[in-house]
């Protein structure tokens, strides 16, 4: 409980800091510079003032209006063109979640599975090949990986003659019915998920492999073997369980990083998720939107940290007892 309050405080401070920093670096007024016909200063003021984005109002006053709106009405403000931030986040959150959740689950499972497989065959051919591949995929920049996948998919589509994979957007308009929607979603989802998994799984793979190697020769694993378990049983039931604890912590803490990683993926694949919203808010000087994303990111970090605590409690009986 005290932890939760601490996190709420952290999020509060981080969000407010983001607000002031956004005002220091973003200027909504500059959106109107160079308009044809040119707008007078008063006209710009008249547009920005009701949106609480005018810099003629003192910063403290703007901040107070913004803060009380959030605390009392859960209203995160509007963009310079009057678009409510709440609506944007509510929609885009799910678009991102669709991409990020699936990718995270696949990344984690694949990473752990490969880690266990290679650790139990250390320095054999399969281990060498898998670790060699992983060290390369881990260090392919996500931009290169995603664009490479786009190129391959386009060539594949050309070769087959129909559009099997879509390289832009999260869904096609006008698809109805359960199964057609399912197929449509899959066609859009496969490529970006593949890109995220490709660059992400290796980190978990290496971590799981090295942790399992630390445990695989421990006394309790030998005891388990002596009691008659096969090698794979002993690894799965005894060694793996101990070495899973740091891995889950790592996965939980990487949740915010996955969201930032999705910025590039979403931009390349044209998904209107949180990541793309992030780059849009900055390039359109949308202060309220940028701050909302900062708050969202802080919230994700807090959730990740708390999930890590929960996972440790589930996996580690020593923590549960004390």
Partner 1 sequence: MTTDMTSDQIAEQIADPELVDPMLHDDEDFRAPVGPTPKRTPRKRMSKFELYGRRFMRNKPAVGGAVIFVLIVLFAICGGWFAQYDYQELDFLAISDPPSAAHWFGTNDAGNDNYAQVVHGLQRSLLIALVVSIGTTVISAVIGASAAYFGGLYERIALLVIHFLMVVPTFLLLAMVSSDAGGDWIVIAIVLIAVNWFFPARTIWTLSLSLRERDYIAAARYIGISGPKIVLRHMLPNIGSLLIIQFTLGVVGAVQMETGLSFLGFGVKAPDVSLGSLIGTGASSITSSPWLFFFPAAALTLLTVSMALIADGLRDALDPTSAAGGRA
> Which residues in this chain contact partner 1 in the complex, by CB under 8 A?
10-11, 13-14, 17-18, 21-22, 25-26, 131-132, 134-136, 138-144, 147-148, 150-151, 154, 202-203, 205-207, 209-211, 213-214, 256, 260, 263-264, 267-268, 278-279, 282-283, 290, 293-294, 297-298, 301-302
Q: Which residue lies nearer to partner 1 by CB, 139 or 176?
A: 139
The helix/strand/coil state of 256 is helix
Query: Vertex 152, ends 148 and 154: CA angle to 5°?
Result: 115
- Whole-angstrom Cα distance, residue 261 to residue 247? 19
Smallest distance from partner 1 to CB 293, Å: 6
Nearer to partner 1, 62 or 209 (CB): 209
Instruction: Supply the minimum distance, in Å, between the C-beta of residue 124 and partner 1.
Output: 14
Give the integer Cα–Cα distance in Å for 228 and 240: 18
Running DSSP on this structure, what letter comes out for residue 84? B
Task: Tell me the closest approach of the beta carbon of residue 283 to partner 1, in angstroms.
Answer: 7
Q: How far is the CB of 244 from partner 1 (least distance, A)?
A: 14
Compute the least distance from the CB of residue 42 to partner 1, in Å: 26
- d(Cα 142, Cα 192) in Å, to the nearest integer? 10
Rounded to whole angstroms, how far apart are CA atoms 88 and 286?
12
Q: Of 34 and 37, which has the nearer Cβ to partner 1? A: 34
CB-nearer residue toward partner 1: 280 or 316: 280
**In the complex, least distance from residue 61 CB atom to partner 1, rounded to whole angstroms:** 22
DSSP state, residue 120? T
Residue 45 beta carbon to partner 1: minimum distance, rounded to whole angstroms: 23
Distances, alpha carbon 223 to alpha carbons 113, 120, 127, 245, in Å? 24, 17, 26, 21
Listed in sequence order, the residues at least 6 apart from 220 whose beta carbon sits closer than 8 Å to its beta carbon are 238
List CB contacts of 27: < 8 A, sequence separation 6 or more: 55, 285
Q: Tabulate helix, strand, coil % of the chain (nearest 5).
A: 80, 0, 20
Q: Which is nearer to partner 1, 72 or 159 (CB)?
A: 159
Shorter beta-carbon distance to partner 1: residue 16 or 54: 16
Nearest CB to partner 1, comparing residues 298 and 312: 298
């Amino acid at each position: 409980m005290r932890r939760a309050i601490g996190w709420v405080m952290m999020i509060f401070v981080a969000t407010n800091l983001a607000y002031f920093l956004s005002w220091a670096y973003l200027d909504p007024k500059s959106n109107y510079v160079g308009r044809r016909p040119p707008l007078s200063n008063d006209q710009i003021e008249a547009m920005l003032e009701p949106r609480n984005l005018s810099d003629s109002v003192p910063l403290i006053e703007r901040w107070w209006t913004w803060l009380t709106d959030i605390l009392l009405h859960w209203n995160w403000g509007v963009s310079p063109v009057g678009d409510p931030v709440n609506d944007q986040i509510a929609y885009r959150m799910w678009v991102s979640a669709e991409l990020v959740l699936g990718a995270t689950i696949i990344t984690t499972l694949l990473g752990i599975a490969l880690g266990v497989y290679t650790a139990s065959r250390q320095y054999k051919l399969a281990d060498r090949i898998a670790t060699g591949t992983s060290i390369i995929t881990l260090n392919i920049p996500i931009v290169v990986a995603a664009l490479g996948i786009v190129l391959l998919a386009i060539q594949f589509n050309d070769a087959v003659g129909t559009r099997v994979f879509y390289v832009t957007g999260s869904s096609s308009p006008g698809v109805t019915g359960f199964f057609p929607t399912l197929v449509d979603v899959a066609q859009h989802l496969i490529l970006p998920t593949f890109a995220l998994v490709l660059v992400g799984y290796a980190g978990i793979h290496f971590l799981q492999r090295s942790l399992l190697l630390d445990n695989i020769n421990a006394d309790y694993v030998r005891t388990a073997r002596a009691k008659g378990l096969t090698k794979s049983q002993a690894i799965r039931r005894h060694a793996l369980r101990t070495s899973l604890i740091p891995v889950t912590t790592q996965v939980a803490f990487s949740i915010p990083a996955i969201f930032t990683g999705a910025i590039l993926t979403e931009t390349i694949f044209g998904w209107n998720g949180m990541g793309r919203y992030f780059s849009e808010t900055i390039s359109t000087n949308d202060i309220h939107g940028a701050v909302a994303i900062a708050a969202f990111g802080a919230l994700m970090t807090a959730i990740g940290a708390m999930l890590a605590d929960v996972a440790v409690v589930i996996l580690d009986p020593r923590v549960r007892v004390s």
